[in-house]
Structure 1
């Protein structure tokens, strides 16, 4: 089906969703719906202009660094509490990932620095389906979601009117600049640009946030997975002894642990981390990919009639035993390891690199980049352009959390999986507590007094 991109197309789906969820003028919707086929459609061209900022390169690196900097600052504050911190795991991750992503994209005038705007976003999200079906006037939740949406539209209108996206010397604004400039070039009115920004925010956080939750959940709730991930992350940590001056003026030596977060998404350096991440996506994926048939098309023995809608159900494909083997319905964090991968000496110059014995020669290992049943990030012309950014953010959160803290249920009981709520527009489920305090956890510093430094490639981000 992915090969039939000119007759089974994606573009009408986001266009219709944008009209209902974000609102928009007739003029703006006519521009967006003008040509819906292939690379010359509005969404086809929009994706092309976003690729330079979201594909590996200087633009993506600058956005990654900005997001990691926000996460790092939060972890430093958490560690400086010098004791146990109690949080709701879902609410904590949601806030940290939402703020890191929006800060990285929108810069120092990020509208979501205002807590009221962040709360408005969550209120808007709750009623997205009511807005899409134009039923928001029939319920208190729908009316509240509509009110929150209009509030956020005004905030983004001010953001652009005041030129906050054009601040010189801030390279991580590259994506928002490219999106704005494209919309202006298409003649989209400012109010419609502000409304379209709600769709952009949704595309950047709606799967990243639950993805971060399930990644952290699967790691911290399984002692084997946690040990494997910590062992591998230790390979990107260097320990140096530095001289420091004490309050009494005396010089003393201290160990400094430096972690390079840029290596986490390198499958040659962190194969287990990446395999775990891919398996989290496969195991929890509930996305439904819709397409519209623009002319009669035959797929194998099926005739798809013009005007019909096709749907690819991710959970069905990702639990197919014929594609994933007899363990398809089980969580196996080593599933995506390559048996024919490089040796330890090829992975890193560190001769002391630790290996994970049970990670080698796993019978279910496959190549995650190949195979029609693999739709971890979508596929074909709708392959998620933000997959690199989301992966870096989520794995950075994981590393900063599990290397510096221990997390355990407040109840003192074992980890009990939460229920999964499946919002239609997202590819990953939202966790829901099954009882009061279900997701409450304690965060405890693992190594009090240890000094951490974080680098991203060659750039030193901050010291604790």
Structure 2
């Protein structure tokens, strides 16, 4: 007969274990839903179960899916037992956890409000100004909107980061980036990458070679403060030149991977919605008029947050390093994984009730808790039919499945004008803490 102690342990486990959602065929139903329905799978389960947290069983893994912002905030506090660093170590196997955990704090001043962020912003503005000038001189251009945004975002971001000797100005290196990005998930998961993502693997090696030359010649000393701080930090850990270049490929991915789809949906939403378009037009007009005194009525932080909320599909992922009790109710067992789909939180009407006071962490477009994108401050930069979305696992926002051809032309008698106000950089980021 079981002892009273054994029975009490079983009772505690039953009380604290998040409810398991198995589907018709345990494990197989979960695998099918995750790979076929992608991020929609978690929205469906959230609507069906109405549970703040539940467990999905995979072979050898308990996956804890958290739908409650309250519980997500509690998990954010357990920075050592429910941790992201092991995943970073897997992405860059030669780096140690302590290095990865402290890198964002070391390099972040280069992309935080102040001289570092302002310098990045000025280069981005200059890059887009040159692009608009070329468009005007050609009398306008016809492009696929996503392809155009994708390329221009890469160009502007890498120019800002790497400076006048930006290795991504080389058309071959630029091409290899897009090959690498298309196979990034397969490479990360290690699913026969040399076969299934051969072009991506080859692209990575081309970028590593280009970055090695960049660092070897000391070109980064003419780059951004962010790059200089990052390289100084990596050198302090004894990374070889090859190690530094491989780590940097990961940094490029972190800086660019979600920026292009985010910029695309922001542009698309502003152009496609007449109300949003008119609001933006009026506020930009006001911004131009007030350029002399450096003031603006435009609230870019709220606009950015709404684009991310409406289109965002990012999923925060943590590994459970030790048994962890969340909110004195739910036990996450060692060896499991915590998964926090933003789309479910963003669909919660209570999180958008204007009469309620909400914490800053209700917006998680750039991560949450101690896992925040160090470049989050830098990233804010007729009837239309919404293109179908490809919910790519690992991206914070979907990419369009269909082409969206547009033509950019300047209005008669008007000139392109781009403005960068240092004050705005500080104001915008002040709400993202």
**Equivalence for 1:422:** 391
Counterpart residue number, 1:79: 136
Aligned residue in 1 for 2:253? 202
> In 2, Cα distance between the equivalents of 1:10 and 1:137?
23
What is the rounded CA distance, in whole Å, between the counterparts of 1:42 and 1:156 in structure 2?
A: 20
Q: Which runs of 5+ in 2 are unaligned?
A: 1-74, 424-433
1:366-424 deviation line (CA, Å, top 9, x unaligned): 777x2554312211101222111011xx2xxxxxxxxxxxxx7xxxxx31111212222
- Contact kept in structure 1, 2:366 and 2:373, CA below 8 Å: yes
Question: 5 Å matches for 1:290-309?
Answer: 290-300=317-327, 301-309=329-337
User: CA distance change for structure 1 residues 48 and 207 in 2, over 3 Å: closer, same or farther?
Assistant: same
- Tell me the equivalent position of 2:407: 442
Alpha-carbon distance change, 113 to 372 in structure 1, aligned in 2, over 3 angstroms: closer
Distance 1:367 1:443 in 2: 41
Give 4+ residue runs of structure 1 displaced > 6 Å after superposition.
365-368
CA distance in 1, matches of 2:292, 2:167: 31
Q: CA deviation at 1:64?
A: 1.1
**SS of 1:237's equivalent?**
helix
CA contact (8 A) 1:286 1:315 kept: yes
Per the alignment, residue 389 of structure 1 pairs with: 378
Change beyond 3 A, Cα 1:133–1:157: same
Report the Cα distance in structure 2 between the residues aligned to 1:275 and 1:452, rounded to whole angstroms: 23
Aligned residue number for residue 217 of structure 1:
268
1:259/1:454 contact within 8 Å kept? no
| Counterparts of 1:238 and 1:371, CA distance in 2 | 31
Structure 2 distance, partners of 1:75, 1:422, is 31
C-alpha distance in 1 between matches for 2:193 and 2:317: 27
SS in 2 for 1:188: coil
Displacement after TM superposition at 1:88 (Å): 0.6
- TM-score of the aligned structures, taking structure 1 as reference length: 0.71
Q: CA deviation at 1:259?
A: 8.6
2:9 matched to which residue of 1?
none
1:432 matched residue in structure 2: 401
State the Cα distance separating 1:54 from its structure 2 match.
1.3
Structure 1 residues 3 and 88: CA distance shift in structure 2, 3 A: same
Contact 2:135 2:409 (C-alpha < 8 Å) held by counterparts: no
Alpha-carbon displacement from aligned partner over 1:336-367 (angstroms, at most 9, x marks no partner) = xxxxxxxxxxxxxxxxxxxxxxxxxxxx4777
Tell me by how many angstroms 1:457 deviates.
4.3
Contact kept, 8 Å, 1:317 with 1:374, in 2: the verdict is no
Q: Which residue of 2 aligns with 1:314?
A: 342
Tell me by how many angstroms 1:117 deviates. 0.9
What RMSD in Å do the two structures reach over aligned CA positions? 2.3
Query: Which residue does the alignment assign to 1:59?
Result: 116
Alignment partner, residue 46 of structure 2: none
**Larger relative CO (CA 8 A, sep 6+): 1 or 2?**
2
Residues 161-220 of structure 1: CA distance to partner in whole angstroms, max 9, x if unpaired?
1111123xxxx5211111111111001111111001111001111111111100000000
Q: Post-superposition shift, 1:324?
A: 2.5
Q: For 2:308, which of 267, 281, 304 is the aligned residue? A: 281
* 2:352 paired residue number: 324
Q: What SS class does the counterpart of residue 417 from structure 1 fall into?
A: coil
| Residue segments in structure 1 that go unaligned for 5+ positions in a row | 20-28, 240-257, 326-363, 395-407, 409-413, 459-464
Distance 1:451 1:180, change over 3 A: closer
Match of 2:188 in 1: 132
| Structure 2 SS opposite 1:122 | helix
Whole-angstrom CA distance in 2 between matches of 1:5 and 1:158: 37
The Cα shift of 1:76 comes to 1.3
Higher helix share: 2
Question: In structure 1, what is the equivalent of residue 427 of structure 2?
Answer: none
Cα pair 1:236 1:259 within 8 Å, conserved: no
Aligned CA distance change for structure 1 residues 115 and 367 (closer, same or farther; 3 Å): farther
Supply the distance in 1 between the matched residues of 2:262 and 2:396 (Cα, whole angstroms).
Answer: 9
Classify 1:378/1:366 alpha carbon distance in 2 versus 1 (closer, same or farther; 3 Å).
farther
